[in-house]
Amino acid sequence: MLEIMVRGAEARDAAAIALVHVRSWQVAYRGIVADDVLDALSMVQRERDWLGWLADEASSTMVAQSDGVVVGFSSMVLASRDEDAGPATCELAALYVDPDRWRLGIGRELLGAAVDAAQKEDCNEVTAWVLSANDAALAFYARAGFVPDGAQQLHPRSGESVVRLRTSLRS
């Protein structure tokens, strides 16, 4: 059985998070996002991005490790960036698992840790933006209680359609 440890991310994790982020995009979104967009993803740039994001106290990023190797991450923005969000709405900005370790429960563990972080910040609900054509992600979030709320937009990097999902943290 795969042993997973989930912990808060640190600056030293930026390169490992970037690797998971880029690999996940290139595998999960092939056939959804244009190949030239996926092929142009830069590990160096993504590591720089993550160094900045990890320093931002307005979010909580968690990593999942197996045998000391980062195999996934989640990042919860502790106040949603959406203009129509309520004051107690957090936003799951990212949740990715290394493609070689999909369907092993790592995403579920990371989502649980992200939701715990949101609850500690007194969030009443969590939103997540998901590519409309990403059936696997839509099904994953549906199993976790997320439902579409009708909001749609174009993803800024890929130009693809995304839908907003929402779940309540109140019992």
Residue by residue, DSSP assigns 18-55 as HHHHHHHHHHHTBTTB-HHHHHT--HHHHHHHHHHHHH
**What is the reported pLDDT for 25?**
95
**What is the reported pLDDT for 87?**
83
Q: What is the mean pLDDT of each run of 10 residues along the chain (171 residues)?
A: 89 97 96 92 96 91 95 93 88 96 94 92 93 94 95 83 91 61
CA distance 131 to 121: 27
CA distance 166 to 130: 11
End-to-end CA distance of the chain: give it in Å, rounded. 32
**What is the reported pLDDT for 80?**
86
